[in-house]
Amino acid sequence: MKKKKLIIPFGVALVPIFFFLSLLYYAEMPLGESHAVYTVDIPRGASFNRIVSILDEAGMVKHRLFFYLLAFSQNAAGHIRAGEYELAKSMSPIEILRKLVKGKIKEYRITFTEDITLSEVAARLASYKLAEETAFMNLASDREFLASLGIEGPSLEGFLFPDTYRLDRSMETGEIIRIMVHQFWKRITPEMLNRAKELGLTIQEIVTLASIIGKESGNKEEKPLVSAVFHNRLKRGMKLQSDPTAVYDLHNGSGIIKKRHLQNNTPHNTYRISGLPPGPIANPGIGSLQAALYPASVDYLYFVSKNDGTHHFSANFTDHKAAVSRYQNKKEKEMI
């Protein structure tokens, strides 16, 4: 009888030890052999029960009870960050939990090129499911939100600095916008602000001019020359007559510019309005911003494309007309 009494307590004592060892084994063992990567999206505000269900549906949970116990033993249940994760069955439960708690979210490395427009930025973000296009555009013209970003104009256009960004789906639309606008203000130095004042122009006007320069020429060396043409025209009270401004307000603004477009009665069309348009027509890079602030010291008033990425510049209309005849004859026929 004494032996039996000793065996029973000893057996009971082994149960928690066995359970603990089983949990350790479960924690460290891979779910399977497959190295295939699965994308799992943890929504913002999801409860831990919902998170476990999402993981289970993706095949990333084996033995829910053990997974719950492991999560609570690691104090992980309330510390999982929302976002999009890349997980594989070759990972162990403890590796999955650590990744979720550390917030190792899938990132999207996106490059926004110089002179991309606001609507193009919205479409690009939407294509990666990083923002909803309509919501982005609505926020882009929210005056209260713009004021919080230090933007006095009616839109974000011009202030989304073209650069390479690492973004993820846990970010809200406003957060993504703030990141891009912060990069703009980071690149605008006190010297640039002082230079704008010397020219008698606001930052909004400098960005507007820079956006036109960028759309007119992608050639870094000639940007100051393009800038000089526009500065000289503004001083003389001449219309800027910039082709890209004529199609900015149109749905086909990124398409081929034709003669008929130059007659459009739209707010930004500098063939119809005098002075600068009411706001930028794209998001310029630092080269265009510098060119807008520091135009070349030349007397040019005209330029025409040479159809090779560069332009011919003229100081008077007679020379300009000859240049147009020389470089644009073939192109004119295509634009009719």
Residue reference for tokens 């033995």: 63
Tokens found for residue 116: 């991309």
Mean pLDDT of all residues in 279-287: 97
In order of 6, 23, 56, the CA distances from 17 in angstroms are 17, 10, 27
- Predicted TM-score (pTM) of this structure: 0.81
Give the residue among 130, 143, 134 at the shortest CA–CA distance from 173.
130
Banded pLDDT at 35 (limits 50, 70, 90): confident
- Give all domains of the chain, ordered by start, each with its CATH number: 23-102 (3.30.1490.480), 108-187 (no CATH), 200-335 (no CATH)
Burial class for 197, CB neighbours closer than 10 Å (0-12, 13-18, 19+): exposed
Give the pLDDT band of residue 28 (cuts 50, 70, 90). confident
The mean of the pLDDT values for the chain is: 89
Contacts of 300 (CB under 8 A, 6+ apart): 225, 228, 229, 232, 313, 314, 315
Q: Check if the beta carbon of residue 48 is closer than 8 Å to that of residue 77.
A: yes
Q: Tell me what the mean pLDDT of segment 176-197 comes to.
A: 97
Residue 118 contacts residue 140 (beta carbons within 8 Å): yes
Q: Per-residue pLDDT for 65 more than 50?
A: yes
pLDDT > 80? residue 6? no
3-state secondary structure of 15: helix
In which band, very low, low, confident or very high, does the pLDDT at 12 lie, cut at 50, 70 and 90? Answer: low
CB count within 10 Å of CB 50 equals 12
Q: DSSP code of 114?
A: T
Residue 199 pLDDT: 97
Identify whether the C-beta of residue 137 lies closer than 8 Å to the C-beta of residue 151: no
- What is the Cα–Cα distance from 64 to 53, expressed in whole angstroms? 9
Specify the pLDDT at position 112.
98
Over 80: is that where the pLDDT of 262 sits? no
The pLDDT of residue 26 is 76
The pLDDT score that the predictor gives to residue 24 is 77
Candidate ranges 70-84, 85-99, 113-127; pick with highest mean pLDDT: 113-127
According to the 3-state scheme, what is the secondary structure of 49-98? HHHHHHHHHCCCCCCHHHHHHHHHHCCCCCCCCCEEEEEECCCCHHHHHH
* Residue 255 predicted with pLDDT over 90: no
Contact 183, 146 (CB under 8 A): no
Residue 161's nearest CA partner among 290, 294, 286 is 286
Residues 54-73 have a mean pLDDT of 90
